[in-house]
Chain A
Amino acid sequence: MWRWVRQQLGFDPPHQSDTRTIYIANRFPQNGLYTPQKFIDNRIISSKYTVWNFVPKNLFEQFRRVANFYFLIIFLVQLMIDTPTSPITSGLPLFFVITVTAIKQGYEDWLRHNSDNEVNGAPVYVVRSGGLVKTRSKNIRVGDIVRIAKDEIFPADLVLLSSDRLDGSCHITTASLDGETNLKTHVAVPETAVLQTVASLDTLIAVIECQQPEADLYRFMGRMIITQQMEEIVRPLGPESLLLRGARLKNTKEIFGVAIYTGMETKMALNYKSKSQKRSAVEKSMNTFLIIYLIILISEAIISTILKYTWQAEEKWDEPWYNQKTEHQRNSSKILRFISDFLAFLVLYNFIIPISLYVTVEMQKFLGSFFIGWDLDLYHEESDQKAQVNTSDLNEELGQVEYVFTDKTGTLTENEMQFRECSINGIKYQEINGRLVSEGPTPDSPEGSLSYLNSLSHLNNLSHLTTSSFRTSPENETELIKEHDLFFKAVSLCHTVQISNVQTDGIGDGPWQSNFAPSQLEYYASSPDEKALVEAAARIGIVFIGNSEETMEIKILGKLERYKLLHILEFDSDRRRMSVIVQSPSGEKLLFAKGAESSILPKCIGGEIEKTRIHVDEFALKGLRTLCMAYKQLTSKEYEEIDRRLFEARTALQQREEKLADVFQFIEKDLMLLGATAVEDRLQDRVRETIEALRMAGIKVWVLTGDKHETAVSVSLSCGHFHRTMNILELINQKSDSECAEQLRQLARRIKEDHVIQHGLVVDGTSLSLALREHEKLFMEVCRNCSAVLCCRMAPLQKAKVIRLIKISPEKPITLAVGDGANDVSMIQEAHVGIGIMGKEGRQAARNSDYAIARFKFLSKLLFVHGHFYYIRIATLVQYFFYKNVCFITPQFLYQFYCLFSQQTLYDSVYLTLYNICFTSLPILIYSLLEQHIDPHVLQSKPTLYRDISKNRQLSIKTFLYWTILGFSHAFIFFFGSYFLIGKDMSLLGNGQPTSSTTLLYTTRN
């Protein structure tokens, strides 16, 4: 029983064994020799409360706050002993504060429930009792066979059983999990791959044994034991047969899979960090201030108690004839009296702790956050999205950011590669409206000037863009393609792009239709550059329509050509190029190579090498990503040798990599240069300016991306994160601990030697984990000295780890994370402030973020204007609250000197009650919603102003002391001002009647 309770409360992990055994379709063995394991259901829970635990849990959470708990104690004290004020004076404000907070939190949780229900209630198809049953996502149990149709998202972690293809393969995209946009192929075990119908699946008897859930997206180990004709077949299962929740099925009509991890145990859910309540720096300093005030309060109470007893030593003060005690009072124990006096003073002075501070701060945050959503400058017109506030608790934290961690794809960039320019045989072309236009008239190429004229005609009738202009000069385009035939073939053949083959039938036969066709074709590539190039080629007129194992099909101006794919020499980052060897329809064997100019140009023996080199440099200066294309015609003799050597290398058992590299070296030489391409990874609007502004505001920008090293660096350069003048340090491909340490020390030395210029650091995931494991300090030191850091090849949890590392470093800086994909969720949740970009990769990030914006550039207004305002507002609000309560209660303390420390109240109890919850909280609330100490335009155009408020300056101990002393001095003025004004209780009015009563009302300065 006790263990059950502990399990329910989550103290004991429910799983005891290292592996879980899953009976597919929950067909348990008949002989009963198994221990049933319990698995959780497929519900995703992000809400905090349920209907029945809301009241106790919420109360518990609220009373964990110092101030609330304190007021509860005071309230209880007032109930127990005879105190100067009635329990209502502190009970009522407490009740009010608790209620308002509970309503707000309940409302927010209700919204979370709604979104949970949406996810958990999504319809899914499950194979049950021989038929396909439609049910809700939350009802999937471990062991259920689930059917997923094309473009659906997997509702749980599934092991692939079969697809509509014979080989049991399917394609998925994990863009929303790790940001990778390419298609990944997953395969089923051959024994189950043949079970393509519900009926045949029903006959399957199999057991899966696999490890317990873990967060690593890329690791999975298990085995499937299939019972067929009375014999057991054991098949290993790896990550290639695991379909993760959150990934999307592509390119495959339907698949069947068996659920193995469900609900909060899926890898996606495990990668989300549990939603711990984020607390802002302001709230932390608020707690410190509260404790200081608590100390002031207790010391005032102690002083008063002691003074009371020294005063009362004389009987004439303790018990003059006009004010006698009762027998009971005379006989009560001295110690008890002392304690009860102390408590009574505590109650008397308790209003020095501002009870309504939290509730006013919360109202201010809640109401103030509307301004973010309302801001037109944060509204993105194209996508019709306005900024969205998910947590209002962190508004002021936006004004405190010291580190910005940003994702790359989709955050800095549009997540869209765009072909821009190319250089073919030494002639530069630009793509304008889907047409290639040569740049500047070249004397020896007549078509250059012609297309230049064409481009003019484009400008003249923009409305009829491509169609009309194409019809007027189809020959030019055709000639262009014919002339540079090989270049375009290279572009459309030399790649590893996958194609979404379902929609290919939509492509017409006409040569010009292909110009509009790309939208109907869906290309998936591991490198977005390749995708952009293939798409560009398709726009020009050479459409890649598909590849099977052996052949690649392209349509050149509508004419279908089939190339036999002989070899692919894969890309690797040492060679920085890739090649394909194809056999053309006419039987020639061609090698096409594509790669960075530094790796292609030296290998070339022919072509316009010099001109191309100049062009490439020009492209690079524009921030475009360049690739060079080259080819080589192979004689059949040459090819045979290549084929043989490749085969040998690929099948070599030892030193395969070195051998392969040698062969590649041998093959890729004596190339003919075809030209170069320039692709723009289209940055989002104003990213460079925003990053520049962030830097001016004293914020360090780190780019964390799952992307490859090269891509990441080039984007970093083009978005201004890295400057060309920067000295770029690299910490990549570290394999061992000692190596990594050595490299780090070397980097640190280099920084020290060369501290004049700025440094940028590039780290990759594996090196990072090595660096973090042993050499955290050294690594942090290097990082702090670099003005820009780029981390590539990062797993989602690693991103969060980096942020945690920065967060807990000695300076405790405030961090902000921006991201758009589900792979950014953990970092968004880890950072002090998480910002989601409402981008293409679903709304996962936006949902889990604290603030969601449509574009990266909005960050500058969000931080410099809203963040600045909120910070100033809340800082003033907090300081004012403490100030006003000092002002309010100190006269009470001073008054005790004039009333024999008898705990007489200076104020009426109604005034005591209302002072905090309405008299003084409403005006400052309005102030803290609307105050603009500096014009917003000035704030935005001068990011350096952001430094003014860094490090929580407005709430430092110094300013706090200033306010407190101000409060005390005002209290003295109020008290003694009134004291002398009242004097001997003479009349203040013209009727001669004395004015004073026990209650003197003081008003405080507002």
Chain B
Amino acid sequence: MTWSATARGAHQPDNTAFTQQRLPAWQPLLSASIALPLFFCAGLAFIGLGLGLFYSSNGIKELEYDYTGNPGTGNCSACALADQDRAPPLRCSCAWYFSLPELFPGPVYLYYELTNFYQNNRRYSVSRDDTQLSGLPSALRHPANECAPYQRRASGLPIAPCGAIANSLFNDSFSLWHQRQPGGPYVEVPLDRTGIAWWTDCHVKFRNPPLVNGSLALAFHGTAPPPNWPRPVYELSPDPNNTGFINQDFVVWMRTAALPTFRKLYARIRQGNYSTGLPRGSYLVNITYNYPVRAFGGHKLIVFSNISWMGGKNPFLGIAYLVVGSLCILMGFVMLVVYIRYQDQNDEDEEEE
């Protein structure tokens, strides 16, 4: 393309890399000498990563106990038998005894797990009113239609918090007791019930309505608790910073799970002697058995777990990396064999050209 500026016509297109489609580009030719090392490197890197993930996941300790109380599974069966009817829940206690032969390294988290519980059912998951939960006084008394049939009581009083999710709040409670010496007394292990919800949830999304005369109870005046609740929402906890809509148990429950088998954080164990973990010895978990799950074939579990840098116990990621890495190496070898086997032929072809 030879042209001078003076000879340029008025309509001559610009000669730039963009207009002439000459933008610099990298078009790698994936020859064996590039692809093979690439495969081996990627394979090795993946295997390394996979091993790391796998071992850190394996290092996580988990201890779980099914306390649904199906016949012959411990002392919760008695409570379970009484659980033929639905709500309102009965009051029943049972216990789980276990012993740790060695230290359960901390920080230890206490979860409860439900199975077959479809928090992700659409009808269920929309049955809430986020404006009400954000503490708007007008919404407090006018719950959204999505909450039906838990929108209003038969008496006409608006339900706060409304909806099926709130109504079905998990209401079993646990206390953990430690026996240091065999035959010794059980000492209660302090459970930290705060800091179990997302920060944004209990500081932004969930707010209590403004206090009336300094009282939360008055703020909720004119509303009724959900039918399954034995007490109103402002009495969920004696701690004024952890009651009402910002009660952390409540907030955790309201963040619905994506799958029918899910765990939710109940408490953290990080105080006093237990900040480094649960020392060896016998333990007792005292369970207040309220929550009916057998009607829909569900199970309730209690889980102790610690976590690592990559979160809870989940060997999947490590295994996935290991599998992909091994495949890479395998394919690399196959290609290497093919390359060596047919290399000579290739050279001949090139010479012919």
Binding site for B on A (CB under 8 A): 84, 316-317, 320-327, 371, 373-377, 379, 381, 384-386, 869, 898-900, 902-905, 930, 932, 936, 977, 979-990, 992-994, 996-1000
B296 touches A317 (CB 8 A): yes
Stretch at the interface among B120-128, B176-184, B332-340: B120-128
The answer for the CA separation of A982 and B313 in the assembled complex, in Å, is: 10
Shortest CB distance B222–A (Å):
23
In the assembled complex, the Cα of A440 lies from the Cα of B41 at a distance in Å of 74
Given contacts A902-B120, A904-B122, A993-B197, contact A979 B310 (CB under 8 A): no
Q: B268 near A: Cβ within 8 Å?
A: yes
Q: Which residue of A lies closest to B255 (CB)?
A: A997
Complex contact A998–B11 (CB within 8 A): no
Taking CB atoms and an 8 Å cut-off, the chain B residues in 31-49 that contact chain A are: none
Q: CB-CB contacts of B1-43 with A at 8 A, as 1s and 0s?
A: 1010001011111110001110101000000000000000000
Quick check: is B342 within 8 A (CB to CB) of the other chain? Answer: no
Q: Is B265 an interface residue (CB 8 A)?
A: yes
* A987 in contact with B120 (CB, 8 Å): no
Sample of 8 A–B contacts (CB below 8 Å) = A323-B164, A375-B20, A376-B12, A904-B122, A981-B316, A986-B307, A990-B309, A992-B109
- In the assembled complex, the Cα of A999 lies from the Cα of B117 at a distance in Å of 17
> B256, A997: Cβ atoms under 8 Å?
yes
* B81 touches A (CB below 8 Å): no
Shortest Cβ distance from residue B16 to the other chain A in the assembled complex, whole angstroms: 9
B residues 252-300 touching A (CB-CB < 8 Å): 252, 255-265, 268, 292, 295-297
Q: How far is the CA of A373 from the CA of B316 in the complex (A)?
A: 54
A381 to B, closest residue via Cβ: B9
Q: In the assembly, what is the distance between CA of A982 and CA of B259, in Å? A: 9
Would A902 and B122 be within 8 Å (CB), given that A986-B305, A994-B264 are in contact?
yes
Q: How far is the CA of A902 from the CA of B118 in the complex (A)?
A: 10
Partner of A324, one of B23, B164, B257: B164
Q: How large is the interface on B (under 10, 10 to 19, 20 to 34, 35 or more residues)?
A: 35 or more
Could you say which of A377, A384, A997 contacts B11, with CB atoms under 8 Å apart?
A: A384
Q: A316-B296, A902-B120, A992-B265 known; A381 and B21 CB under 8 Å?
A: no
Cα–Cα, bound, A324→B297 (Å): 17
Q: State whether the Cβ of B190 lies closer than 8 Å to any Cβ in chain A.
A: no
Contact B258 A990 (CB under 8 A): no
Q: How far is the CA of A904 from the CA of B292 in the complex (A)?
A: 24
Closest 10 CB pairs of A and B: A986-B312, A384-B9, A322-B168, A374-B19, A902-B122, A980-B316, A321-B86, A985-B262, A899-B120, A988-B311
State which of A379, A989, A998 has its C-beta within 8 Å of the C-beta of B12. Answer: A379
Shortest B20–chain A CB gap in Å is: 6
Nearest-neighbor residue (CB-CB) of A989 within chain B: B311
The reply to whether A371 and B19 form a contact with Cβ atoms under 8 Å apart is yes
Could you tell me the distance between the alpha carbons of A997 and B316 in the complex, rounded to whole angstroms?
20
Tell me, yes or no, whether B113 is within 8 Å of chain A by CB. Answer: yes
Q: Across the interface, name the chain A residue whose C-beta is closest to B124.
A: A323
Q: Shortest beta-carbon distance, B151 to chain A, in Å?
A: 9
Residues from chain A with a CB closer than 8 A to the CB of B58 are none
Residue in B167, B258, B313 with the greatest tally of chain A CB atoms within 10 Å: B258
Which residues of B are found within 8 Å of A371, using beta-carbon distances? 19, 21
Q: What residue in chain B is nearest A976 (Cβ atoms)? A: B316
Assess whether B258 is in contact with A1000, with CB atoms less than 8 Å apart: yes
Contact B15 A376 (CB under 8 A): yes
Shortest distance in angstroms between B198's beta carbon and chain A's nearest beta carbon?
6
Q: What residues of A have a CB within 8 angstroms of the CB of B252 in the complex?
A: 994
The reply to whether A993 and B149 contact each other, CB–CB distance below 8 Å, is no
Residues of chain B contacted by A381 (CB below 8 angstroms): 3, 7, 9, 12
Q: Which residues of A contact B167 (CB under 8 A)?
A: 322
Residue of B nearest to A324 (CB): B149
Please encode chain B, from 225 to 265, with 1 for each CB lying within 8 Å of some chain A CB and 0 for all others: 00000000000000000000000000010011111111111
**For the complex, what is the distance from the CA of A900 to the CA of B120, rounded to whole Å?**
8
A379 to B109, CA, bound (A): 73
Q: Is the CB of A988 within 8 A of B20?
A: no
Contact A902 B123, beta carbon cutoff 8 Å: yes
User: Complex: how many Å from CA A338 to CA B15?
Assistant: 63
Question: A326 near B149 (CB under 8 angstroms)?
Answer: yes
Minimum CB–CB distance from A357 to chain B (whole Å) comes to 24
User: Is B317 part of the binding interface, using a Cβ–Cβ cutoff of 8 Å?
Assistant: yes
Which residue on chain A has the smallest CB distance to residue B23? Answer: A930
CB B262 to nearest CB in A, in angstroms, measures 4
- Please determine whether A993 and B198 come into contact, CB atoms closer than 8 angstroms: yes
Residue interface mask B195-218, A partner, CB < 8 A = 1 = 011100000000000000000000
Q: Are B311 and A932 in contact (CB under 8 A)?
A: no
Mask, B108-145, CB within 8 Å of A = 1, is: 01000100011011111101000000000000000000
Q: Is the CB of A998 within 8 A of B120?
A: yes
Residues of A with C-beta under 8 A to B13: 373-376, 379, 386
A987 with B307, Cβ < 8 A, contacts A321-B295, A386-B11 known: yes
Interface pair A374/B296, CB less than 8 Å apart: no
Name the residue among A379, A981, A987, A989 with the largest chain B CB count within 10 angstroms: A987
B63 contacts partner chain A, Cβ-Cβ < 8 Å: no
Does the CB pair B259–A996 fall under 8 Å? yes
A985 B258 Cβ-Cβ under 8 A: yes
Given A320-B296, A994-B257: 18 more A-B contacts, CB < 8 Å: A316-B297, A321-B168, A323-B118, A371-B19, A375-B19, A386-B12, A898-B120, A899-B260, A904-B122, A904-B125, A981-B316, A984-B259, A985-B264, A986-B313, A986-B314, A993-B197, A993-B198, A994-B252
B100 touches A (CB below 8 Å): no
Once the chains bind, are B312 and A900 in contact (CB under 8 Å)? no
| Interface pair B295/A320, CB less than 8 Å apart | yes
Task: Provide the bound-state CA to CA distance between A993 and B7, in Å.
Answer: 72
For A377, list chain B residues within 8 Å (CB): 1
- Whether B12 contacts A384 by the Cβ 8 Å rule is yes
Q: Are A997 and B258 in contact (CB under 8 A)?
A: yes
In the complex, what residues of A have CB within 8 A of residue B25's CB? 932
Task: Chain B residues near A326: list those with CB within 8 A.
Answer: 148-149
A377 and B21 alpha carbons, distance in the complex (Å): 11
B87 within 8 A of A: yes
A690 vs B259: C-alpha distance when bound (angstroms): 64
Nearest neighbor of B147 in chain A, beta-carbon distance: A326
Docked CA distance A689–B124 (Å): 73
Least CB distance, B152 to chain A, in whole angstroms: 11
Which residue of A323, A325, A371, A381 has the most chain B CB atoms within 10 A of its CB atom? A323
Q: How far is the CA of A899 from the CA of B124 in the complex (A)?
A: 11
CA distance A189 to B6 in the complex (A): 56
Tell me the minimal C-beta distance from A486 to chain B in angstroms: 47
In the complex, chain A residues whose CB is within 8 Å of the CB of B10: 384
**Min C-beta distance of A937 to chain B, whole Å:** 11
- How far is B123's CA from A325's CA once the two chains are assembled, in angstroms? 8
A325 to B148, CA, bound (A): 8
Query: Given contacts A898-B260, A985-B258, is CB(A992)–CB(B268) below 8 Å?
Result: yes
Whether a CB of chain A sits under 8 angstroms from the CB of B320 is yes
Query: What is the bound-complex CA distance between A997 and B113, given in angstroms?
Result: 15
Closest Cβ of chain A to B248, distance in Å, is 11
Residues of B within 8 A of A979 (CB): 259
B105 within 8 A of A: no
Indicate whether B74 reaches chain A with its CB closer than 8 angstroms. Answer: no
Q: Which residues of A contact B107 (CB under 8 A)?
A: 992
Nearest CB in chain B: distance from A117 CB, A: 23
Q: Does A998 contact B256, Cβ atoms closer than 8 Å?
A: yes
Q: Is there an interface contact between B121 and A900, defined as CB atoms closer than 8 Å?
A: yes
Question: CB-CB < 8 A to B11: which residues of A?
Answer: 379, 384-386
Closest-by-CB residue of A relative to B320 is A977
- Closest chain A residue to B108 by CB distance? A992
On chain A, the residues within 8 Å of B19 by CB distance are 371, 374-376
In the bound complex, do residue A984 and residue B262 qualify as a contact, i.e. CB atoms below 8 Å apart?
yes
Q: Whole-angstrom distance between the alpha carbons of A885 and B74 in the complex?
A: 50
How far, in Å, is A647 (CB) from chain B's closest CB?
Answer: 59
Asked if B21 and A932 sit within 8 Å, CB to CB, the answer is: yes
Q: Which residues of B contact A321 (CB under 8 A)?
A: 86-87, 168, 292, 295-296
Distance A468 CA – B113 CA, assembled complex (angstroms) = 108
A977 to B314, CA, bound (A): 12
Chain A residues with CB below 8 A from B314, complex form = 980-981, 983, 986, 988
